Chains A and B, each alone.
Chain A
């Protein structure tokens, strides 16, 4: 299917900008009065890449997207597409497609006319435009709803009109601002696959803003984690999931238990850390010295109730099919989130352990 869409493209039709150009953000800054929403963002987005800007609300990800789109002026830095600087261009000259969180469909136009709006603006000839609108509507599987007004469509359908409207102009870059946040959970899962499929079909670069790490992990080629107007870490979903570089990124990726500790000793790649009143064996990725304070982080599914490890008292335990998940309190008060394959109940004592390679070690008591 991917191939057929790509070859369907009529090579004679002009495109706003040739695809295959990298989008470069250099030193992007954006100030609102005294508040710095972006504090110098550097990023090169490869052509055809699906990149997710991930972070909690207020981290500057939407500001970054609006700056790329030209909806907000920069306070500093440059944006270029290939060799061209585009940060001076108004949004209507950039030729990017954008999907808004609220969809922003024109309420007075049918789905068809919404999708055709951008082609109209580019003065694409009628017959060619009709053909492309039909293709776009078919791609988002809305051919049957083409003549409905947005008010007559469901949220998911509106969402797909918004996507069709953004891609029909064959933009070099498609920008998406939390496009799934207004949908219910089931539709959200479906649309993830749908958006990924469309991305592959059209082959343009996609910048996708979200605060949902599942969304980012399942869709993106590369994830950019942002915080306080700065990039914390960039990497593939596997990189971020397995090897977060900072405690806050780890927390975002589901490492819920956070154990303050002190390095007891290192020997032959094995490090022992004293935490929560017991000794924990870990694999430190960066060198640590004995006596150094560290923070250990573990995912709930990796911290398992067994025969040896940290002693803790169960506070809550929930059955979630197959296993029990719960929260427990260690002797020093640290809250631990764990998994258990046998039933445990509140008040019970458990010993919790994890494989050394499943435990992250961060120097100091960061975060």
Chain B
């Protein structure tokens, strides 16, 4: 193959030279889908970037300046982080030990099917359900009252905790299923080997599983965080959208489609993307300190 490709021999027809580099009719099949994504995703994104730098009035950075000078807008970054980071970590900390147990189960499918429900149903439905379920008359408060855990109903909707609950209900299964797929990918013989060499359960986890799992957990953290950071419907329906859960996506939506300031809306979307990128890069940067090869055993 390389023999054909390397010399720029004029005698070989272009079609063959291209084919030698892997470009032929079959390769062209990638073009329609690629064009679709370039047109519908990449171009709009660049368009949004340009739009964000072309405010209705003022200098090119005007929309960004507006965002950072208005405390109500500026605080959305904090409001969103204080929701997204704790829920993501909470979900991840729960997911790891549970995944280690579920890995040993022979009939995982029922559990994974139940857990995939909230992911599939989505945040709108979960928000509607939680409004009643966590409400002052809902089963959740009633059970706690009945058990005398609390003296009077807790306020769990239309505030921070409502959104927190919704991010756990939809976020935990997502985090868990990802973690499970990483945990199951580790060769069980590694654990057996560690055991025969004298490592108890805690040290097997700390010395063998954890180092192998960290790269996967970093990816899981990133994907889960990015989802949580874009929280929108539940923050509106289940939170206090004008107060503590005035998250960045609400600000972006309101700017673009309620105040019709496309430039500011795009600018906020860009800021949203930038914050996500920073956190993801930080997580992946930490990951690069760990081993990142195959974990499915060392055959061949």
Asked if B189 CB lies within 8 Å of chain A CBs, one says: yes
Asked if B23 CB lies within 8 Å of chain A CBs, one says: no
When the two chains form their complex, are residues A108 and B291 in contact, meaning their CB atoms are under 8 A apart? yes
When the two chains form their complex, are residues B195 and A106 in contact, meaning their CB atoms are under 8 A apart? no
Using A98-B192, A107-B212, A121-B203 as known contacts, say yes or no to A182 and B293 having CB atoms under 8 A apart: no
Q: For A69, what are the chain B residues with a Cβ–Cβ distance below 8 Å?
A: 192, 196
Asked if B207 CB lies within 8 Å of chain A CBs, one says: yes
Q: For B299, what are the chain A residues with a Cβ–Cβ distance below 8 Å?
A: 102-103, 155, 182
Asked if B297 CB lies within 8 Å of chain A CBs, one says: yes
When the two chains form their complex, are residues B197 and A117 in contact, meaning their CB atoms are under 8 A apart? yes
In Å, the complex CA distance between A71 and B193 comes to 10
Q: For A103, what are the chain B residues with a Cβ–Cβ distance below 8 Å?
A: 297-299
Q: How large is the interface on A (under 10, 10 to 19, 20 to 34, 35 or more residues)?
A: 35 or more
0/1 per residue, A72-88, Cβ < 8 Å to B? Answer: 00000000000000000
Contact among B192, B197, B208 for A165, CB-based, below 8 A: B197
0/1 per residue, A118-154, Cβ < 8 Å to B? Answer: 1001100000000000000000000000000111000
Contact among B196, B200, B203, B212 for A94, CB-based, below 8 A: B196
Chain B residue nearest in CB terms to A94: B196
0/1 per residue, A151-189, Cβ < 8 Å to B? Answer: 100010010000001100100000100000010000000
Which of A97, A102, A158 has the largest count of B CB atoms less than 10 A from its CB? A102
Asked if A90 CB lies within 8 Å of chain B CBs, one says: yes
Asked if A241 CB lies within 8 Å of chain B CBs, one says: no
Q: For A149, what are the chain B residues with a Cβ–Cβ distance below 8 Å?
A: 293
Q: For B212, what are the chain A residues with a Cβ–Cβ distance below 8 Å?
A: 106-108
Residues 80-127 of B contacting A (Cβ, < 8 Å)? none
Asked if A96 CB lies within 8 Å of chain B CBs, one says: yes
Asked if B71 CB lies within 8 Å of chain A CBs, one says: no
When the two chains form their complex, are residues A155 and B300 in contact, meaning their CB atoms are under 8 A apart? yes
Asked if B295 CB lies within 8 Å of chain A CBs, one says: yes
Asked if A95 CB lies within 8 Å of chain B CBs, one says: yes
In Å, the complex CA distance between A322 and B290 comes to 59
When the two chains form their complex, are residues A118 and B195 in contact, meaning their CB atoms are under 8 A apart? no
Chain B residue nearest in CB terms to A118: B197
Asked if A92 CB lies within 8 Å of chain B CBs, one says: yes
0/1 per residue, A3-27, Cβ < 8 Å to B? Answer: 0000000000000100000000000
Asked if B280 CB lies within 8 Å of chain A CBs, one says: no
Contact among B195, B291, B298 for A102, CB-based, below 8 A: B298
Residues 269-300 of B contacting A (Cβ, < 8 Å)? 290-291, 293-295, 297-300
When the two chains form their complex, are residues A97 and B298 in contact, meaning their CB atoms are under 8 A apart? no
A-B pairs with CB below 8 Å: how many? 95
Asked if B198 CB lies within 8 Å of chain A CBs, one says: yes
Q: For A165, what are the chain B residues with a Cβ–Cβ distance below 8 Å?
A: 193, 197
Asked if A298 CB lies within 8 Å of chain B CBs, one says: no
Contact among B187, B293, B300 for A104, CB-based, below 8 A: B187
When the two chains form their complex, are residues A158 and B195 in contact, meaning their CB atoms are under 8 A apart? no
Asked if A60 CB lies within 8 Å of chain B CBs, one says: no
When the two chains form their complex, are residues B198 and A106 in contact, meaning their CB atoms are under 8 A apart? no
Asked if A363 CB lies within 8 Å of chain B CBs, one says: no
When the two chains form their complex, are residues A90 and B195 in contact, meaning their CB atoms are under 8 A apart? yes
When the two chains form their complex, are residues A104 and B193 in contact, meaning their CB atoms are under 8 A apart? yes
Asked if B190 CB lies within 8 Å of chain A CBs, one says: yes
When the two chains form their complex, are residues B193 and A106 in contact, meaning their CB atoms are under 8 A apart? yes
When the two chains form their complex, are residues B199 and A121 in contact, meaning their CB atoms are under 8 A apart? yes
In Å, the complex CA distance between A339 and B299 comes to 40
Asked if A344 CB lies within 8 Å of chain B CBs, one says: no
Asked if A237 CB lies within 8 Å of chain B CBs, one says: no
Chain A residue nearest in CB terms to B210: A108
When the two chains form their complex, are residues A100 and B192 in contact, meaning their CB atoms are under 8 A apart? yes
Asked if B211 CB lies within 8 Å of chain A CBs, one says: yes
Chain B residue nearest in CB terms to A155: B300
Asked if A40 CB lies within 8 Å of chain B CBs, one says: no
In Å, the complex CA distance between A103 and B298 comes to 7
Asked if A91 CB lies within 8 Å of chain B CBs, one says: yes
Residues 17-74 of B contacting A (Cβ, < 8 Å)? none
Asked if A359 CB lies within 8 Å of chain B CBs, one says: no
Chain A residue nearest in CB terms to B212: A108
When the two chains form their complex, are residues A121 and B294 in contact, meaning their CB atoms are under 8 A apart? no
Q: For A101, what are the chain B residues with a Cβ–Cβ distance below 8 Å?
A: 189
0/1 per residue, B183-221, Cβ < 8 Å to A? Answer: 000010110111111111001000110011000000000
Q: For A151, what are the chain B residues with a Cβ–Cβ distance below 8 Å?
A: 293-294, 298
Contact among A93, A104, A121, A175 for B298, CB-based, below 8 A: A104
Chain B nearest Cβ from A179, distance in angstroms: 12
When the two chains form their complex, are residues A105 and B298 in contact, meaning their CB atoms are under 8 A apart? yes
Contact among A70, A100, A108 for B193, CB-based, below 8 A: A100
Besides the known contacts A92-B197, A101-B189, 13 further A-B residue pairs in the complex with CB atoms under 8 A apart: A16-B198, A90-B195, A92-B198, A93-B198, A96-B196, A104-B189, A104-B193, A106-B208, A107-B212, A108-B293, A118-B198, A150-B298, A151-B293
Which A-B residue pairs are the 10 nearest by beta carbons? Answer: A108-B291, A118-B197, A121-B198, A104-B189, A91-B195, A104-B193, A98-B196, A150-B298, A105-B298, A102-B297
Query: Chain B residues in contact with chain A, CB under 8 A?
Result: 187, 189-190, 192-200, 203, 207-208, 211-212, 290-291, 293-295, 297-300
Query: Chain A residues in contact with chain B, CB under 8 A?
Result: 16, 69-71, 90-98, 100-108, 117-118, 121-122, 149-151, 155, 158, 165-166, 169, 175, 182
Interface pairs (30), CB distance under 8 Å: A71-B195, A91-B196, A92-B194, A92-B196, A92-B197, A95-B198, A97-B196, A97-B197, A100-B189, A101-B189, A102-B187, A102-B297, A103-B298, A103-B299, A104-B189, A104-B190, A104-B192, A104-B298, A105-B298, A106-B190, A106-B194, A106-B208, A107-B291, A108-B212, A117-B194, A117-B197, A122-B198, A155-B299, A165-B193, A182-B299
